[in-house]
Structure 1
Amino acid sequence: MAGKIPRQFIDDLLARTDIVELIDGRIGLKKAGKDYQACCPFHNEKTPSFTVSRDKQFYHCFGCGANGNAISFLMEYDKLEFVDAIEELAGLYNLDIPREQGLGGPQRSFEEKKSDYDLMMQTANFYQNQLANHNNSASVKNYVQGRGLSEQTVNKFLIGYAPPEWDALLSRLARTPAQRQQLVELKLASEKSPGRQFDFFRDRLMFPIRDKRGRIIAFGGRVMGQDQGPKYLNSPETRIFHKSFELYGFYEAKQAHKSLEQVLIVEGYMDVVALSEYGIDYAVAALGTATTTEHMQTLFRNTDKVICCYDGDRAGRDAAWRALEHALPNLKDGKSLGFVFLPDGEDPDSLVQKEGKALFEQRLSNADDYSKVLFSRLSEQCDLTTDAGKAKLLAEAIPLISKIPSEFYQESLLTTLARLIGRTREQLSAKLATPKKQHAIERKFKVTPMRRAIGLLLQHPILAKSVDYLPELAHMQLPGMALFLKLQHTCLENEHYTTAHILEAFRDTPDYEALKKLATWQHNIQEEALEDEFKHTFKFIEDQCLNLRLETLLIKDKTEGLSSDERLECALLTQALSTRRTGQN
């Protein structure tokens, strides 16, 4: 696998990025004092409570609590993974993303990566041109029209035609050996023997596959007649295409909806395209594979409601079961998973053409809840009239229920399970492998002196220079001391750091969530009083450390006795504390 992205590169990227400009370009911001405001893009509101700070390079919503730096915003707003968000920011400045030494071999430059995506786009354009102008164009268009697809839908999904000639694409796009090799590496051409290449897709209706950012990364080809090989032929995996992560039609669905209220999972490209033709423009399809864990993670990050649509036969129900298993870890509070099983011999393409949009969407409204599918499947394999059957159902259901993060959903499933096997929910609750989530019993956040010092330093990194750096205090075992010193050291070593930089440096640490809370804490201290307040708080913490050490020595003196050095330390600590108290009076 490729190495990690260096911390220094991420720091430099954040330093180049103005979070105000980034967010303003997506949602529009208005000046409000020294900061900027807008209605929050992460929840519905009428009065702006979403604030962006240019000084801190940080955003925070006082309504829903969303907060973070530029990378966090792209991850949440554009629904990107961490590395994708880094790539998006780096692309704005035409920067290559370096990697620390890993196992993935030499890294490809920004220009090399761009060349791959450009070639995929040129290929899509070539297929579209062939659909319009090839000698077979009339028959292909007749096939497309016979499938009920309009020109608008064809253009929306960039549908094209791969001609039957063995090297039509190679002849058009590969003028040099390097270009021919690139086509082979991207699986647009095949090579049976050295120097002899031919087009991978021939005489097929072509469906470009886009990633979350709209870049073409692969193709799917469908035959239009009998005896032409497999009905669907998909691009093999390449350096830019990993099928377990991608969903056909997902980019188009996001483009059609500012906020996806629901997503429908179907089995084929034609299903997605046909449904879109009828105005059902929120369907996606897996790419020659079963629905994966990564697919479900992507969908539930973008919508609260996922409906899986499968054939009603055994194969369809097996596919539904695999999808359900992969979806369970994503069923947080407010997330919904449903299943629709189609009549024999029907698929979404054929059914929507028979029934129309209204009746098809009525089927979606009547989708079976995931809980019904779960217990129906498990109960098939258990004789619930016997204790053995009930015990088997319990043994198989509990691990699945344990995967669900929502306590509400867990309790609902336990209630159903208890009814099926003649037990109470309370008896079953103890069997869950996952304990209640700590956040459900989280105490109200209290600002202690240590949290106050860390919060001030986090929001105003320049304060790190206003007090002495005393790493020896880490040995005092005072709660939060190690984090404070780590934070101060980070600020001293990186004088240009903003709040955004610091949070990014701690993103993958156990302290990240606590720091995010402190980054949004409203301290209400005037700017001119910040340094004095910070020094005063730090002095209080120093006194705590000195008192803690003195108490430790006094206890040891009574139980074990002190060495001569410890007696001297005890005397110096007593004198120092007395002097500090005198200085305060």
Structure 2
Amino acid sequence: MTLTPQWLDELRARTSLSTLIGKSIKVQKAGREYKACCPFHNEKTPSFTINDEKGFYHCFGCGAHGDAIRWMTDQRGLPFMEAVKELAATAGMEVPAADPRAAKRAEQARGLHEAMAAAQSFFEDQLGGLDGGEARAYLGRRGISDATRRTFGFGYAPDARGKLKTALRDFGEPMLVEAGLLIDPEGERDSYDRFRGRLMLPIRDIRGRVIAFGGRILGDGEPKYLNSPDTPLFDKGRTLYNIDKASPASRQTGRIIVVEGYMDVIALAQAGFADAVAPLGTALTEHQIERLWKMVEVPILCFDGDAAGQKAAIRAATRALPLLRPGHSLCFATLPKGQDPDDLLRASGAGAMQAVLDAAQPLIERLWSHELSAAPLDTPEQKAALKQRLRDITDAIGHPDVRAHYAHEFRERYSALFFARREAAPFQPRAQGGGGGQRWQRDRRGNWKPPIPPAGQEARAIGAGGMEQRLLRAVLAALLRHPEQIAPHREMLSGLHIADPLLGQLMDAMIRCSFRKETVETQALLTILGQGEVYNMAKGMLRADTFTLTPNRMTTDPDRVARDLEEAVRVIAQGPELEAALVEATRRFESDFSEANFAEQQRIRALKAEHDRRLAELAQSEDSI
């Protein structure tokens, strides 16, 4: 189809912007304009204005600006064409069709939508009538309020074979069969109602139109939940229940919660969590994951704590691996065993649910813990099997940068799990978790603090001059340009004691930022530093003419950046360790002139000489990192 500028201008002219926006937020007349509290950021004093004459809105607080179509895409979360179609339907305009076949399909879809809307009205009427008493009692036992019942459009399908068929006979049997409302058996038997004796819930598309139904049986019987079949309007593998309400809610919370079923979504919404969706009786599909990522970059998957719920979580994690890309992932919140969201909310309230969501694990943590507990790890063969399972996970990731980071992280964890003790020898490379094996800890306010080395074990400080300091500046400059590399190296960096106070402050700020944010950006680092000497130093490091550390190559070859940084950090960290080891070996030799002690002293001296040679190469080369 072709949407000309003239046609779009006519659509905007026929749309009352204040009326459109007033459906979602409270607006007030202010002279020739309207004002409201901005829906795109939290504020108490209205700074959001709507001008019907000019056809645009503008927020003087956050800068949000647009017309009716932009409102539908940004606030409602609709795709462009869906926004245009909804506005056109309200304005009484026909959307141009690309060809006669498309026009015919559009006309057919209109008829199906009308049939589904009529069915929804029928089910709602039945719930309020004599036949709906048992269904109303069930809603009361579940604690579902009248307001929630109206919001989600609960209805009731009578336990009869033809009541809906009779009520909607004007649409004709073929259309009702195509909409999934009637079942047309083979042979000479008549068609009959698909849903009978069930509590009914409408399933809506992103525009809020009914496209299918889900029915829960009252009393005994199977299946417990029955969904509409796939139809021209409904594809269960591409649809998420409650997406029409959760999508705009997610713009306020910056979050999407994925739960297992309809009633979980409804219980959460009634408790104040409006940004929840659910798949429709199937495992989360690739299409649904991509749809979630259009709303937020890291959706929270909140499944039951029983074996079935955790199995569903791992299925979703595995399905997401080929789709992962920078910034886009999943995280996993686990409910207490034996409880679904409704159980938890009833027993402990919304605060307990929020605590579960706050404790959500990143995708890599869930995969690591799952594989770690999948089988015993007592024999070399079992340990090798774990390594193979981790390799299979990384091989399934499509994006090369994300795959490289997962491989690096799994390699570090695997080595720390099985080889950390051997790496802890004094003159060997620094073990994971520098600073005497300690890790950064949170203080009582939740802030991350660097480890304090045990008395007598403080590493020699990196001097305020010389090759070590030069290489350290190069490493910090590279981390500023590539902040995604901070997390893989923060444990080793945190064990360094830096004589230059500005360099030390910069490194501490970078490490703290990496703990607070899943994705660290250069600009965010500079913002945290504020104005001052450390900020000015960081800005200077980012200038190519000040630190010519091959920025072009680093930008185009992230794998090389990761490898070079790993070597540079290792060389910096080894220096103090090797020097301390040499001092100790010399002390032992001077107290006991044995051949063994002399050999040990010479071996460590050779290691240190090789280290110093490599340090000089890295520090003096402009192509070091």
- TM-score band, normalised by the shorter chain? 0.5 to 0.7
Q: Which moved more, 1:306-315 or 1:110-119?
A: 110-119
CA positional deviation for 1:320: 0.9
> 1:376-415, aligned counterparts within 5 Å?
376-380=369-373, 388-389=384-385, 391-393=387-389, 395-403=391-399, 411=405, 414-415=408-409
Q: Please state if 1:230 is matched with 2:198.
A: no
CA positional deviation for 1:318: 2.7
1:275 alignment counterpart: 268
Q: Which 5+ residue runs of structure 1 have no aligned equivalent?
A: 1-5, 425-438, 442-585
2:258 alignment counterpart: 265
> 1:316-355, aligned counterparts within 5 Å?
316-327=309-320, 329=323, 332-333=326-327, 337-355=330-348
CA distance in 2, matches of 1:48, 1:97: 34
CA positional deviation for 1:235: 0.4
Assess if the C-alpha contact under 8 Å between 1:300 and 1:330 holds in 2.
no
Q: Which moved more, 1:58-67 or 1:409-418?
A: 58-67
1:154 alignment counterpart: 149
Q: Please state if 1:204 is matched with 2:203.
A: no
CA positional deviation for 1:308: 1.3
**TM-score, scaled relative to structure 2:** 0.55
- 1:143 is matched by which residue type in structure 2? Y
More RCO (CA 8 Å, sep 6+): 1
Residues 413 and 13 of structure 1: CA distance in aligned 2, closer, same or farther (over 3 Å): farther
2:290 alignment counterpart: 297
Assess if the C-alpha contact under 8 Å between 2:306 and 2:338 holds in 1.
no
**TM-score, scaled relative to structure 1:** 0.58
1:76 alignment counterpart: 74
Q: Secondary structure at the match of 1:218?
A: strand
CA offsets, 1:484-526, max 9 Å, x none? xxxxxxxxxxxxxxxxxxxxxxxxxxxxxxxxxxxxxxxxxxx
CA positional deviation for 1:342: 3.4
CA distance in 2, matches of 1:413, 1:395: 7
Q: Please state if 1:115 is matched with 2:111.
A: yes
Q: Please state if 1:139 is matched with 2:134.
A: yes
Equivalent in 195, 214, 220 of residue 220 of structure 1: 214
Superposed CA RMSD: 4.6
CA positional deviation for 1:371: 1.8
Aligned residues with identical type, % of pairs: 34
CA distance in 2, matches of 1:342, 1:41: 31
- 1:197 is matched by which residue type in structure 2? S
1:551 alignment counterpart: none
CA positional deviation for 1:234: 0.2
> 1:353-368, aligned counterparts within 5 Å?
353-368=346-361
Q: Secondary structure at the match of 1:9?
A: coil
1:568 alignment counterpart: none
Assess if the C-alpha contact under 8 Å between 1:95 and 1:110 holds in 2.
no
CA distance in 1, matches of 2:239, 2:188: 32
Assess if the C-alpha contact under 8 Å between 1:129 and 1:160 holds in 2.
yes
CA distance in 1, matches of 2:69, 2:137: 47
> 1:27-42, aligned counterparts within 5 Å?
none
Equivalent in 161, 165, 169 of residue 170 of structure 1: 165
2:414 alignment counterpart: 420
Q: Secondary structure at the match of 2:195?
A: coil
Equivalent in 219, 233, 238 of residue 245 of structure 1: 238
* Aligned length, in residue pairs: 410
CA positional deviation for 1:159: 0.7
Q: Please state if 1:14 is matched with 2:8.
A: yes
Q: Please state if 1:374 is matched with 2:374.
A: no
CA distance in 2, matches of 1:29, 1:297: 37
Q: Which 5+ residue runs of structure 2 have no aligned equivalent?
A: 420-428, 430-480, 484-625
CA positional deviation for 1:306: 2.2
1:454 alignment counterpart: none
CA offsets, 1:55-95, max 9 Å, x none? 9x999999999999976664333322344234234434434
Residues 402 and 419 of structure 1: CA distance in aligned 2, closer, same or farther (over 3 Å): farther
Residues 362 and 205 of structure 1: CA distance in aligned 2, closer, same or farther (over 3 Å): same
